[in-house]
Amino acid sequence: MDIINDGWDLMIAHPPCTFLTIAANKWMKPEYSDKYPTRHQDREDAADFFMALYNAPIPKVCIENPIGVMSSRFRKPDCVIQPWMFGHGETKATCLWLKGLQRLIPTHLKGDMFAHEEPEEREQRLHKLPPSADRWKLRSTTYQGIANGMAEQWG
């Protein structure tokens, strides 16, 4: 946040999803309050950070996050994209909240991507990664095809 007011013309933000994703809802239950006593406040802080990014004095803003609480706390995303829409075989719904930007247009057709694969081989590769110290990092990686689409379409 130290540089948010430095006159940027475009921001593509990837705030941590740990407390915003609906996948974390399980840990919000009362039976986990001893294990995660700050979970509710952590979610509030994450939502505040998301909104600070969106409301930054930057004319063009994209905030990327998985399906989560901001769809009800703020508003529905402007578009939901999948890696396969940009040339990758995986499925992973990714929401984009946009300010001053057009919806991201897919660069690939689904049928072209998967002609040689069985559905079970392609759909949940990211979710089936084995446990590891960097599993979270692998699952949160932005695919190059999506980054290319953003660069080409939003310049």
Rounded Cα distance, 46 and 130, in Å: 27
**Would you state the pLDDT for residue 142?**
86
Contact present, 15 and 39 (Cβ < 8 Å):
no
- Look up the pTM and report it: 0.85
- Report the share of the chain in percent with pLDDT over 70: 83
First to last CA, the chain: 23
Structure tokens of 35? 């294990």
Helix ranges restricted to H, the chain: 39-54, 70-73, 110-113, 119-122, 135-139, 144-154
Name the least confident of 26-30, 37-41, 49-53, 119-123. 119-123
81 contacts: CB under 8 Å, gap ≥ 6: 93, 94, 96, 104, 106, 146
Neighbours of 81 (CB within 10 A): 22
* Across 72-101, average pLDDT: 92
Give the pLDDT confidence of 100-147 residue by residue, as tens digits: 999 999 998 766 555 455 555 555 566 666 677 876 676 678 889 999
